[in-house]
Amino acid sequence: MKRLLLGLLALSVTAQSPQDADRAVEAVRPAVLWRAPRDLGTENWSCGSAGCAAAPAPPFYFLQEDMEGTFPKLTVKDAHGRSWSVKFGGKVIPESFCSRFVAALGYIVEPSYYVAAGRLVDAGHLHRARHFIHADGSFERARFQLRDPKMEFLKNHAWSLADNPFRGSREFAGLRVVMMLLSNWDAKDVREGEKTANTGVFRAPDGELLYSFFDWGSALGRWGKVMRRTRSDCSGFTRDSPHFINGVRGNVVEWGYSGKHEDDVRGGITLDDLRWLAPYLERITGEEIRAGLEASGATQRQTACWAGALEYRIRAIEAVARTGRYWR
Amino acid sequence: MIARAVVIALAVPISLLYAQAASVDCSRRTAEDYVPITRTERAANYVRSLTGPHAYLYAGVLAGYDQWRNRPKEWGQGSLGFERRFGNDFATHIVTTTLQHGFALGLGEDNRYFSSGAHGFGRRLAYALTSPLLARHADGSRSVSISALGGVAGGSLIEQVWQPRSTSRMGNAARSFGLTFAFRAGLDFAREFAPRAARAFLR
């Protein structure tokens, strides 16, 4: 009996769930958060981070409506047989633009394209998306995000902003600065649950594990908690900009940003982190930002407001990185 | 020397920002910035409507008007009379707002105010004055706001329950309905035309 009990105890200690086993195997694979960015070029800012050739091609065939998340979402197939996740509403401009911006800085993000108008073939009975699709299947102002079969999204691999393999690295600090630069307040991670997390891991064809913060839809507005925050709000984004950097204390930069897990996003970012990121930000021109915004569905006025505020924030980062001091 | 360099380095982007803002109006959220409201935003908007500055402004303005007209006469004059009228109008505001937000959720209507972004006094005035009666839908289109009309009508009727004898009539409900929309039209006028500093208060 004693032997049996000892045997059961040993089993319980060594037994692993399949998920744990997967994680153990994946732990030895290289994890990547950032790659040295290539120059996107104005053309890709206008088309999308994966280039003009990869843009969604009509006709679009309806596959299913995804009921997860807070926004209406569809899965469609285009003329080339590629699968796309389609969103409507307030996330369209932020996701279309931020995917270009984040990719231009070397971070992992799925390519997103803005489609001004189109038509769905065989649109079935829709629930949440019915407000955005007309009776004849036509739609306006949609964000198409590529579901690249070469990039396998690993389920149950959401990661935490507080605890991940990159904590303490320049690359991770850079990602957090970019989140603040774009006022992305929705920094949900594994702590909110696997299904709602905006952090995840993709497996590249060569086995590399690509760590990504993949949902930028709550950006380009006012940062903050529930009562303050907005998304896709160029006036709020502009009004927040003078408070983007609040000062420098010692070697640590202080930020005006607030949002989900704000301490994990804005905490402990040093001048050296900004000095690492600044050259990559400097490469992005005002012309590229404007091209990206226009191609993401922004109007002339919105483009002028967002581009002006973004350039202001980038110059603030550069000035602080260069001088180590900040005056508003 | 370093301080001077920093000031010059920062002066350029700051002037850039404000030069940008001068050529286009980036200070207000306009109709072209409209994005469909989410459930969380609805909840936040509801709380803001109940407790925000304009809730007190509404109760204060209407209580002041009734105090001046001495309606209802049973509530008398002086600070006690004003308190009663203020309480009455604030309670009506709570009922109206709750009904309106409930209807809006069910009907998919959005009654938030976005500046017109238009040029010309007449167009902006027309936009502001008609806004209390119109709601936006997820696709950005506007139509008559069933939720606003239903909410205000419901609040005006329910208000009669606690009215004293002299004002507990259908006519008083119609008066309350009209005054509420007149106040809202005035508020939207202020939101459209008020200077930037005041708009934060009216949001």
| pLDDT mean over A184-188 | 97
Instruction: Check pLDDT > 70 for residue A241.
Output: yes
* Confidence bin at B8 (pLDDT 50/70/90): very low
Report whether pLDDT(B9) > 90: no
Nearest CA distance, B18 vs chain A (angstrom): 8
What pLDDT, on a 0 to 100 scale, did the predictor assign at position B11? 47
Indicate whether B8 belongs to any domain: no
* B15 assigned to some structural domain: no
Closest of B36, B139, B28 to residue A90, by C-alpha: B36
Flag if B29 and A302 touch (Cβ within 8 Å): no
Closest Cα partner for A217 from A110, A75, A305, A328? Answer: A110
To 5 degrees, how large is the angle CA B16–CA A281–CA A244?
55
Size of interface A-B (CB pairs under 8 A): 110
- Residues A171, A164: contact at Cβ < 8 Å? no
A21, pLDDT greater than 70: no
Rounded Cα–Cα distance for residues A57 and A34 (Å): 29
DSSP helix/strand/coil, B90: helix
Quote the ipTM score.
0.82
The answer to the question of residue B188 being in a domain is yes
Task: Please indicate, yes or no, if residue B12 is contained in any of the structural domains.
Answer: no
B91, part of any domain: yes
Summary mean pLDDT of chain A = 90
Within a domain: residue B22?
no
Six token digits for residue A57: 């091609």
Which of A89, A90, A299 is nearest residue B32 as measured by Cβ atoms? A299
Q: What's chain A look like in SS3?
A: CHHHHHHHHHHHHHCCCHHHHHHHHHCCCCEECECCCCCCHHHHHHHCCCCHHHCCCCCEEEEEEECCCCCCEEEEECCCCCEEEEEECCCHHHHHHHHHHHHHCCECCCCEEEEEEEEEECCCCCCHHHHCCCCCCEEEEEEEEEECCCCEEECCCCCCCCCCCCCCCHHHHHHHHHHHHCCCCCCCCHHHCCCCCCEEEEECCCCCEEEEECCCCCCCCCCCCCCCCCCCCHHHHHHHHHHCEEEEECCEEEECCCCCCHHHHHCCCEHHHHHHHHHHHHHCCHHHHHHHHHHCCCCHHHHHHHHHHHHHHHHHHHHHHHHCCCCC
pLDDT at A50: 84
Write down the pLDDT at residue A71: 83
Contact A327 B6 (CB under 8 A): yes
Tens digit of each residue's pLDDT (9 = 90 or more) over A44-69: 898 888 888 899 999 999 999 988 77
For the record, the structure tokens of A33 come out as 């958060």
- The b-or-e profile of B44-73 (16+ CB within 10 A means b, else e) is bbbebbeebebbebbbebbbeebbeeebbe
Residue A222 exposure: Cα atoms within 13 Å on the Cβ side = 14
The average pLDDT across B52-79 equals 95
Across the interface, whether the CB atoms of A305 and B21 are under 8 A apart is answered yes
Q: Which residues pair with A115 in a beta bridge?
A: A142
> Is residue B14 scored above 50 in pLDDT?
no
For B142-191, what is each residue's pLDDT tens digit?
A: 999 999 999 999 999 999 999 998 987 899 999 999 999 999 999 999 99
Would an 8 Å CB–CB cutoff place B13 in contact with chain A?
Answer: yes
Residue B107's contacts (CB-CB under 8 Å, 6 or more residues apart) are B146, B147
Pull the structure tokens for residue A229: 């925050």
- The pLDDT, as a whole number, for residue A20 is 54
* Higher pLDDT among residues B8 and B38, named by residue: B38
Contacts of B108 in chain A (CB under 8 A): 131
**pLDDT level of residue A43 (50, 70, 90 thresholds):** confident
Strongest mean pLDDT among A24-33, A68-77, B23-32, B120-129: B120-129
Residue A123's pLDDT band (cuts 50, 70, 90): confident
Q: What is the mean pLDDT of residues B61-72?
A: 96
Query: pLDDT above 90 covers what percent of chain A?
Result: 79
Please check whether residue B4 lies inside any domain of the structure: no
- Grade residue B20 by pLDDT with cuts at 50, 70 and 90: very low
pLDDT interval class at A22 (50, 70, 90): low
Q: What is the pLDDT of residues A128-166, one digit of tens each?
A: 888 899 999 999 999 999 999 999 999 999 999 999 999
Q: Which of A188, A196, A239, A293 to mutate to test the interface with B (most CBs of B within 10 A)?
A: A239
Condensed to tens digits (0 to 9), the pLDDT of residues A207-229 reads 999 999 999 999 999 999 999 99
Query: Do A316 and B10 make contact, defined as CB atoms within 8 angstroms?
Result: yes
Pick from A89, A227, A239: CB nearest B35: A89
In this prediction, residues A108-112 reach a mean pLDDT of: 94
Mean pLDDT value of segment A16-23: 51
Chain A partners of B138 at a C-beta cutoff of 8 Å?
88-89, 131-132
Lowest mean pLDDT among A1-5, A8-12, A111-115, B64-68: A8-12
pLDDT digits (tens, 9 = 90+) for A260-295: 999 999 999 999 999 999 999 999 999 999 999 999
CB contact set of A306 (below 8 Å; sequence gap of 6+): A97, A220, A234, A237, A238, A289, A293, A298
Comparing CA positions, the residue from A122, A143, A116, A138 lying closest to residue A64 is A122
pLDDT score recorded for residue A67: 84
Chain B hits for A300, CB-CB cut-off 8 Å, are 24
CA B110 to each of CA A94, A169, B90, B101, B103: distance values in angstroms, whole numbers, following the listed order: 21, 44, 22, 9, 10
Per-residue confidence (pLDDT) for residue A1, from 0 to 100 = 43
Residue B18 belongs to a domain: no
Test the B interface: residue of A97, A306, A312, A317 with most B CBs within 10 Å? A312
- Give me the domain span that covers residue B109: 33-202
How high is the pLDDT of residue A298?
A: 97
- A238/B36 Cβ within 8 A: no
Chain B's closest residue to A69, CA to CA, is: B38
Question: How many domains, chain B?
Answer: 1
The distance between the two most distant Cα atoms of chain B, rounded to a whole number of Å, is 78
Neighbours of A46 (CB within 10 A): 17
pLDDT value for A41: 76
What is the pLDDT averaged over residues A187-211?
Answer: 95
The CA distance from B157 to B106, in Å, is 21
Residue A78 contacts residue A58 (beta carbons within 8 Å): yes
B203: closest chain A residue by CA: A228
**Joined tokens for residue A118:** 């189109």
Interchain contact, B30 vs A235, CB within 8 Å: yes
